[in-house]
Amino acid sequence: MKKVTRLQSRKQWIWLMAVLMAVIFFKVDNTVCAQATVAGATTEDTTTTATVTSNLSTVKITSIVIVSKHSLKITWKKNKKAEGYIIYRKNEEGEWIKAGQCSGGQKSCYTDKGLSYRKTYTYAVMPYGIKQGKKQYDLPTGKGTSKKLKFHSKYKNGLKLYYDADGKLIEDVEGIIGKQDSYVLKVNTLRCVVTAYAKDGKKGYTIPVKSFLCAPNAYTKSGTFHTGESHRYRTLFYNSYSQWSVQIHGNILFHTSPYTRSMDRKSLDVKEYNKMGTCASHGCVRMQCAGVKWIYENCKAGTKVIIYKSENAGPFGKPELEKLPSWHTWDPTDPASRKLCAKKGCH
């Protein structure tokens, strides 16, 4: 009986040592893999993390602009090979953490919210690819691109303008001053720009809030008018339709670029949309969906509209248009079409 007991004890000791060796090997192996992942690139899905090479370098951040006291908008140059982007922000310890991500290689901007006013934030944007259902991307290195979340206002040429900590003009101050009770709209039919102005107390409507690209007609009548009725959907001339419209005077409207079917946001006339920023209408003031929708929702009936001609595009200059391919039969600025863009990965 003693021999059997000693034999069993020896077997138990050998088994215990084998288990301990396996645990030690597992911990060492995992530590090496984790160190390699942090130093290089990563593959990400819901079940695993492993070291790989993504072959997609950091994209260049082209601008970081202030949206409000607590948010910044990061814009970058697209990578044609990317399936999406990971946005990194440095924390107080100087370590890179994920701030957010955008799916779709054609995305080129991200708004980081919940930030603290007067603080400086540093960003890097890493494109990712997808292989066997897993995201592949490099981790950021280097200093990144920084922006201090601070702004100030000053008067220039009779206007109250807002500037960031670097002295750069902020071209959309709605998030800074908040929604106003009333606005004045100025339409420059020569440079094809609509600029909204807010009231600065007794100084009048001298705060440029934001500007929109438009497509008027070279012979659109100049003068001072006041908005009338508005419509969510409206039939236009020549078998065309608009999503939003606001009357300026008579048959002259603010309306979207024309659609070929009524109440169908996927029937955008792409050829006409790509004329935005030129004199292309039959007399009305065409705008992208985001612009007309903003007027529809923020400008009450009776809002003053000043139509004029000037070589000076306005305090914010002339916005740029990203032209659409023929298959893109919806307006990318239309909030209701975001799912379509997300599916295509185009905007």
Confidence of residue 255 (pLDDT cuts 50, 70, 90): very high
**Is a pLDDT exceeding 90 seen at residue 21?**
no
Is 255 a known active-site residue? yes
Does one domain contain both 69 and 202?
no
Domain residue limits at 100: 61-148
Does one domain contain both 142 and 247?
no
Does one domain contain both 291 and 239?
yes
Structural domain contains residue 343: no
Give how far the C-alpha of residue 152 lies from the chain's centroid of Cα atoms, to the nearest Å: 23
Lowest mean pLDDT among 177-181, 189-193, 268-272, 336-340: 336-340
Q: Assign residue 118 the CATH number of its domain.
A: 2.60.40.10
Q: Contact, 70 vs 113, CB < 8 A?
A: yes
> Considering 148, 175, 205, which residue would you say is the last residue of a domain?
148
Q: Which residue has the higher pLDDT, 14 or 199?
A: 199
Does one domain contain both 242 and 289?
yes
Structural domain contains residue 345: no
> Considering 125, 148, 171, which residue would you say is the last residue of a domain?
148
Structural domain contains residue 8: no
What does the pLDDT read at residue 235? 96
Does one domain contain both 133 and 169?
no
Give how far the C-alpha of residue 38 lies from the chain's centroid of Cα atoms, to the nearest Å: 29
Please identify which of the residues 102, 192, 284, 289 carries the catalytic annotation. Answer: 284
Please identify which of the residues 102, 192, 255, 346 carries the catalytic annotation. Answer: 255
Does one domain contain both 159 and 139?
no
Is 279 a known active-site residue? no
Structural domain contains residue 46: no
Name the nearest CA neighbour of 331 among 274, 289, 301. Answer: 289
pLDDT tens-digit series, residues 96-132 = 999 999 988 888 999 999 999 999 999 999 999 998 8
Structural domain contains residue 239: yes
In this structure, what token pair is assigned to residue 239?
């078998």
Does one domain contain both 216 and 120?
no
Full DSSP string of 228-279? --EESSEE-STT-EESSEEEEETTEEEEESPBSSTT-TT-B-HHHHTTTTSS
Count of the separate structural domains present in the chain = 2
**Is a pLDDT exceeding 70 seen at residue 17?**
no
Question: Residue 329 CB: number of other CB atoms within 10 A?
Answer: 20
Does one domain contain both 256 and 133?
no
Sheet with 285-287, strands from edge to edge, namely 223-226, 304-308, 183-188, 193-198, 207-215, 285-287, 252-256, 245-249, 230-231
Structural domain contains residue 311: yes
Does one domain contain both 272 and 138?
no
Q: What is the DSSP secondary structure assignment for residue 201, as one 8-state letter? A: G
Confidence of residue 18 (pLDDT cuts 50, 70, 90): low
> Considering 93, 126, 148, which residue would you say is the last residue of a domain?
148
Does one domain contain both 197 and 272?
yes
Q: Assign residue 248 the CATH number of its domain.
A: 2.40.440.10
Structural domain contains residue 16: no
Does one domain contain both 115 and 239?
no
Provide the whole-model pTM. Answer: 0.82
Does one domain contain both 184 and 122?
no
**Is a pLDDT exceeding 60 seen at residue 177?**
yes
